[in-house]
A and B are shown apart, each in its own frame.
Chain A
């Protein structure tokens, strides 16, 4: 199946810093999703995007649906230790089948 390119693969940041990560695809998507996964648990949905150019926030998290519909971005402001985890993007053009990125591992140093 199709794989999305997610970058960076890993990040080590100081508490309080902002975080940016992105996801790109060779195909156009109608839906972009962002998830966070803690060790040993299932991914938890953070933000869903359904329209090109859409900018959506969830607390300190903001995600954008790229205008080209081939990319999406996730920003975390003022990081805290509990932000630690792996962040996944997922894209779909059918609504039923999603393709997932390889994940960005975030480490927050207190």
Chain B
């Protein structure tokens, strides 16, 4: 069966510090991978999605970036965090069927 992992679960970072969030999927090949941000207002905002290694599509301009160094690994990064980057970051995947499965999320607090 397929599983999706996110690391770390919680992160507290100072403004201006770098960021690296990791998402890995097991039990599937060549998945589509997604990064969402969920603010306190509950809505899910799509940040990036990837249909293959090295292929990244950005949905909104921001100081975040994404990379897909391996088939089942998706990384969300920033060189300098802003206060507004605080939120709940969710990774999701799908493969072959029209649905999306979410990871457990990473809660980021920028102080």
Contact = CB atoms under 8 A, between A and B. Distances in A.
Interface string A1-35: 10100000000000000000000000000110101
Contacts of A30: 98
Interface in B39-98: 41-46, 49, 51, 59-60, 88, 90, 94, 97-98
B107 A40 contact: yes
Interface in A13-71: 30-31, 33, 35, 40-45, 48, 50
Contacts of A44: 102
Interface size class of A (residues with CB under 8 A): 20 to 34
Contacts of B60: 1
Nearest to A95: B98
Contacts, number: 56
A45 B42 contact: no
Given A40-B105, A41-B105, A43-B90, A50 B44 contact: no
A41 B10 CA distance: 11
Contacts of A31: 98-99
Interface in A51-102: 86, 88, 90, 92, 95-98, 100, 102
A87 to B, nearest CB: 10
A31 B51 CA distance: 19
Contact of A33 (B59, B100, B107): B100
Given A31-B99, A43-B44, A44-B102, 12 more contacts: A1-B45, A1-B60, A31-B98, A40-B105, A40-B107, A42-B6, A43-B90, A43-B102, A92-B98, A95-B97, A97-B49, A98-B100
